[in-house]
Amino acid sequence: MIRRILLPVIFGVLAWGFWISPDFKEIAAGVAIFLFGMIFLEDGFRTFTGGLVERILTRITDRYWKSLTFGIVSTTLLQSSSLISVITISFLSAGLLTLSAGIGIVFGANLGTTTGAWLVAGFGLKINLSSYAMPMLVFGVILVFQSSRTLKGIGYVLSGIGLLFLGIHYMKEGFDAFKETIDLTRFRMLGFAGLLVYSLIGMVATVVMQSSHATLILIITALAAGQVSYENALALAIGANVGTTVTAIIGSLSANYQGKRLALAHLVFNVFTGLIAIVFIHQFVAAVEWFSVRVGIAATDYTLKLAVFHTMFNICGVIAMSPAIGIMVRMLTRVVPEPKIAFIEPKFLNDSILEFPETLFEAAKNETLHLYDSALEIITHGLNLHRHVVLSETDMEAFLETDRTLIDIDLDTRYARSVKALHSAIVGYLSRAHAHLPQDYADRIYLLRKASGEIVQAVKDVKHLRKNIVKYVRSPNATVRREYNALRYPIAMVIRTFDRLRKQDPEVDVLDFDQFKILINEDNSVATGALDGLIRDGRVTPEMATSLMNDYGYARSIVWNLASAGEILFGHADAAARDAETLLRLDEEEIEGLLGKDAPSEDVRQ
C-alpha cells in the first residue's frame, strides 16, 4: 500500500517544489543528471568486467597498501576525491572491486585530496577537471554509438563522467541562492561549542557549494578578513571534509548494496577523522605550528597552514582506521545487507521422508507440480496469455484472434526466483534420494526429474519466444498474427489439458496430448512448407518468416516438453494401464509420418 502511494507522493512533492522554487528545480535536475551519469559510469565499467581492466584493477588493489596508494595517486592526478569516490562506487557496483579494496581507495582519496591545497598554495596550480566535462560528454556519446564493445564501454564511462560534472554544475547553480546566506560571522563563538558549530557550518557550506575546495577558499578569505578565528577556520575545514562525502552518498543512490556500503564507509571515515581532529584540536594546532616553523611557512600564511592541518588529520584518520578495516567491512556488511531475492523454496521435500519410497515419490510429484505452477505463470504470461483464460473453457482460438493486451513480465527475474531455484532444489534432493530407493522407485523418480527438466526447458523456450510474440501478436499484419496464434494455440491447449488431467477430469487422458503435437505440425506455414508462398505473395516479410522459422522450433519444443511432463505426472496409477498408455502414445517419427495425410474423416471410416 505504502509502496503504491509513495511514487505519486514523491512526484507531487517534487512538482510542488519545482512550482515554487526554480533553484530547487535546478538542484533536483542536477541530482537527476548526476545519477544518470552514475548509471552510465556503471554500465561502462560493467563492459570491462572479466577483462583486462578488471585484472589490472584486481592486481593494483589486492593489498590494502596498494589500494590506498591507488587512491592517493589517482586523486592527486585528477584533483577530485569526489570523482574518485564515485568511480570507485561504480567499480564496486559493477563487480570490478572488493569492498576492502574500495575502502582502501576511498581512504587514499581522502589523503590525495589534501594535495590540492598544497598545489594551490605552493604552485598556484589548480586542476579544473570540470572544464573537460563537455568534451568528455561529446566524445563519450560518439563512442557509445560504435560497434566495438570496448569503445562503447569507454564511451559510457566518458559520458558518465561528463554527466557527473554537468549534474554537479546544476546542483551548484541551484545552490547559488543559498550561498549568499552563508554568513560565517553570525555564529562566532569560542571553545568546543564553536568547534562543533563551525564544523557543521563547514559541512553545510560544502554540501551547498558542492565543493570542499570552494569552502576552503571561503574559509581562507574569512580568516584573512578576521571574520572567524583560526580555530574556527580549522573546524570549518573539518566540516568541509565531512560535507564532501555528500557527492559519494548521492552517487550511491543508484549503486547496488556494495556501492552503498562504500559510500557509508566514506562517511564513517570522514566523520571519524573529523571527530579525531575536533577532540585533539589543540594538539593539531600545536603540530601545525611546529611543522610550519620547521618548513618555513609564514605565521599568516593560512592557506598553507590549512593545507598542513588538512593533511595531518587525514593521515591520522588513515592511521587510526587502517587496523580496523576488517571490523569496518563486517559492520558495513551488517548495516547494509545484501538484498535477499525471495526465491521460491520447496514445499514438499524434506529429509525425514528419504527412507519412505512411496511418501518420497508423492512428495517429489507434488514438488514437480509446484514447479509447474511456478513455471505456468511465466509460460502463460510469456505467451501474452492470462492463466485464468487458458485454464477456463474460453474459446481459445477466438480469444487469441481478438485479444491485443500486452502482459508485462520480467521473465529473467521470475525464472531465477521461481523456477531455477526450485528446479535446483528438486534436482539436488532427488539425487540424494536416489541412493535410498529400490530400483522400481528409482526409475519413477528418474521420470519425475525428467518431467521437471522438461518444464524448465519449456520456460526457457518461452523466454526465446516472448520477444516475437510481443512484437507480432499485436501486429497489424493479419497473416503473421495468425501464424503466431497458430503457435500459441496448441501450447495453450496442452496447458489446459494438463490442468484437466490434474483435476482428474474423466473426459481427458494423457493420450490427448498427441493431438496438439500433430496440430503444431499441421496448423502453421513453417511445418507445412507454405511459408515460401506467403513470402512470395508479400503477406509476410522475410524477417517475419525467419522469426517464424525459429519460433516454430521453440513452440514445438514447448508443446512436446509440457506434454511429456504431463504424461509422466498424470499417467495412470496402475502400472499396466500406464504401460499401455506409453505404448499407444505417438512418438516423434509417428507424428512426422502423419504430416500431410489428409481427410481423416474418410480415413477413420475404413
Partner 1 sequence: MKRRTILSRLGFLTEADDVGRKQRQAISELLEKLSKKEKALRKELEDEKSESGRRKLKAKLKACKAQRKKGEALLEDS
Measured CA to CA, the distance from residue 368 to residue 362 in angstroms comes to: 10
Least distance (Å) from partner 1 to the CB of residue 520?
A: 9
- Compute how many residues bind partner 1; rule: CB under 8 A: 33
Interface region with partner 1, contact rule CB under 8 A, candidates 257-265, 337-345, 460-468, 579-587: 579-587
Number of H helices, E strands in the chain: 31, 0
Which CB atom, from 252 or from 485, has the smaller least distance to partner 1?
485
Are 26 and 142 in contact by the 8 Å Cβ rule? The answer is no
Interface region with partner 1, contact rule CB under 8 A, candidates 194-202, 269-277, 355-363, 596-604: 596-604
Residue 397 in contact with partner 1, rule: CB under 8 A:
yes
Interface region with partner 1, contact rule CB under 8 A, candidates 151-159, 217-225, 537-545, 573-581: 573-581
Least distance (Å) from partner 1 to the CB of residue 593?
A: 8
Q: Using alpha carbons only, give the angle 472, 476, 482 rounded to the nearest 5 degrees.
A: 55
Cell of 227: 571574520
Residue 511 in contact with partner 1, rule: CB under 8 A:
yes
The contact mask relative to partner 1 for 345-384 (x = CB under 8 A, - = no) is ----------------------------------------
Interface region with partner 1, contact rule CB under 8 A, candidates 8-16, 177-185, 228-236, 519-527: 519-527
Least distance (Å) from partner 1 to the CB of residue 564?
A: 15
| 109, amino acid identity | A
Measured CA to CA, the distance from residue 572 to residue 581 in angstroms comes to: 8
Contact residue for partner 1 among 9, 324, 549, 577 (CB under 8 A): 577
Nearest to 211 by CA among 246, 263, 163, 259: 246
Residue 341 in contact with partner 1, rule: CB under 8 A:
no
Least distance (Å) from partner 1 to the CB of residue 576?
A: 4
Measured CA to CA, the distance from residue 142 to residue 510 in angstroms comes to: 59
Least distance (Å) from partner 1 to the CB of residue 442?
A: 19
Contact residue for partner 1 among 29, 519, 527, 535 (CB under 8 A): 519
Instruction: Supply the DSSP string of 264-311, one letter for each residue.
Output: HHHHHHHHHHHHHHHHTHHHHHHHHHHHHHHHT--TT-HHHHHHHHHH
Radius of gyration over every alpha carbon of the chain, rounded to an integer in angstroms: 34
Nearest to 54 by CA among 82, 94, 14, 20: 94
Measured in whole angstroms, how far is the alpha carbon of residue 551 from the centre of its chain?
Answer: 29
Strand ranges for 461-518 from DSSP E: none
Contact residue for partner 1 among 355, 412, 532, 590 (CB under 8 A): 590
Which CB atom, from 120 or from 568, has the smaller least distance to partner 1?
568
Which CB atom, from 91 or from 570, has the smaller least distance to partner 1?
570
Least distance (Å) from partner 1 to the CB of residue 514?
A: 4
Contact residue for partner 1 among 147, 181, 439, 601 (CB under 8 A): 601
Scanning 353-477, the segments in alpha helix (DSSP H) are 357-382, 387-390, 396-402, 411-414, 421-434, 439-472
Q: Count CA within 13 A, CB hemisphere, residue 357.
A: 13
Contact residue for partner 1 among 515, 527, 553, 592 (CB under 8 A): 515
Least distance (Å) from partner 1 to the CB of residue 387?
A: 22
Contact residue for partner 1 among 94, 448, 518, 558 (CB under 8 A): 518
Are 170 and 27 in contact by the 8 Å Cβ rule? The answer is yes
Least distance (Å) from partner 1 to the CB of residue 390?
A: 16
Nearest to 475 by CA among 409, 427, 541: 541
Residues that bind partner 1 (CB under 8 A): 397, 509, 511-512, 514-519, 522-523, 572, 574-577, 579-581, 583-586, 590, 594, 597-598, 600-601, 603-605
